[in-house]
Amino acid sequence: MRGFLRLFAFILPVLCTLPASAADYPSRPVKIIVPFGAGGPADIYARVLAQYLGEETKQSFLVEDRPGAGSLIGTDAVAKSSPDGYTLLVMSNTHTTNESLLPNKPFQLMRDFVPVASINYSDLVMVVPTSLDVKSVKDFIDLAKKSPGKLNYASSGPGTPYHMAGELFKSMAGIDVVHVPYKASGDARNAVLAGQVEMMFDAVTTMTALAKAGKVRALGTSGTTRSALTPDLPTIAETVPGYESTIWIGVMAPKGTPKDVVTFLNKAINKVIELPAVKEAWAKQGAVPMVKTPEEFDAFLRKDIDKWAAVVKSAKIEVH
């Protein structure tokens, strides 16, 4: 009997640390780590998920913003957490870009995480100061080709969707435009408004209002089809065939998270983003729900990593 008790005392802590299964998941609060600043798209949409997932499961889903080092701090914290489904990561295409931009980071996306679900995507809009004498994407390309290396474009920093959208545009349009990184998207936006730089890619939800107010001139949106917010504005792809560069957001979990828990979360998240109230609210913001299975999201991530790796290589982009 004593031997059995000693054995039980030894295995009990092990049993307590085993990953959860969907049969009793979630039985305690779930933490959602957002490795970006408060008030940004990832933070906002994470809180929508947390609210509805809490209502659906009768358990708390708590959002924790942990920004820093271009998303590395919060992401690494999730990578090192227990793979039990109680710590999740809200991530974006900043992560797929970082796979090639920052090869020496402490984690690898597809090695240390498992895809759970995609959330949504939204277009970017290409804008120029009203003082610049261009009225279309073609006009901008023509001007850039006449003055190689003389035009500048702003972004909120190396590796951000705004930066990579500009590099992809340069590559596909065959032009030489100089990247000017700023510390935040607001700083880059102000530079365009002041005419200090000649172009910027920005979130369609943010820049559309400024364009309609006549403070900047919108030339085109970055999706494959015209944005519902700006149906009269052509896509960049109508001038540069095949161009696409959106902002998307998804959820991942630490590698080793039980498959049935991942499946449970995927179905629950997909249910939330297909709610009429959610879809209606997001449509007003220019965000489109992106419903995928874990396997489909996995394939999407790998394709996106390859896409941006090619851009990083061709543009010889380095982050120090």
pLDDT, tens digit, 9 for 90 and up, residues 26-47:
999 999 999 887 877 888 899 9
Give which of 87, 108, 118, 161 is closest to 249, Cα–Cα. 118
Residue 93, token pair as written in the block:
């295409």
pLDDT, tens digit, 9 for 90 and up, residues 263-307:
999 999 999 999 999 999 999 888 999 999 999 999 999 999 998
Tokens 């759970």 belong to 116
- Give the amino acid at 276: P
For the entire predicted model, the pTM comes to: 0.80
Domains and CATH numbers, the chain: 13-121+247-315 (3.40.190.150), 124-238 (3.40.190.10)
Between CA 261 and CA 316 the distance in angstroms is 40
pLDDT, tens digit, 9 for 90 and up, residues 87-133:
999 999 989 999 998 889 999 999 999 999 999 999 999 999 999 99
Are 127 and 155 in contact by the 8 Å Cβ rule? The answer is no
Whole-angstrom Cα Rg for the chain: 22
Q: So what's the pLDDT on residue 21?
A: 58
